Amino acid sequence: MLNLKSCPRCNGDVNVERDWYGGYESCLQCGWVKDASDEPLPGPLQLTLDKLNLEFPELVRVG
């Protein structure tokens, strides 16, 4: 999926890739890359839930 204007370096569009061993984010504009597989959880729980909903809806969906 694509996170528009979410690059911390250039505010460009970040492509979010996931596969069986984890995931990573990469900016289409500047090439910034973040390995998301070992990213520490952000502080606020609500922020975490919102992020999960956006990025991993299949994990949050219950029932």
Show Cβ contacts of residue 61 under 8 Å, excluding neighbours closer than 6 positions: none
Which one of residues 23, 32, 36, 55 is an interface residue with Zn ion (CB under 5 A)? 32
Our CB check for Zn ion shows the closer of 18 and 34 to be 34
10 contributes a contact to Zn ion by CB under 5 A? yes
- 31-37 own/partner pairs: CB under 8 Å, 24+ apart: 32/7, 32/8
Site for Zn ion contains 9 (CB under 5 A): yes
Beta bridge partners of 16: 25
**Binding region for Zn ion (CB under 5 A):** 7, 9-10, 12, 27, 29-30, 32
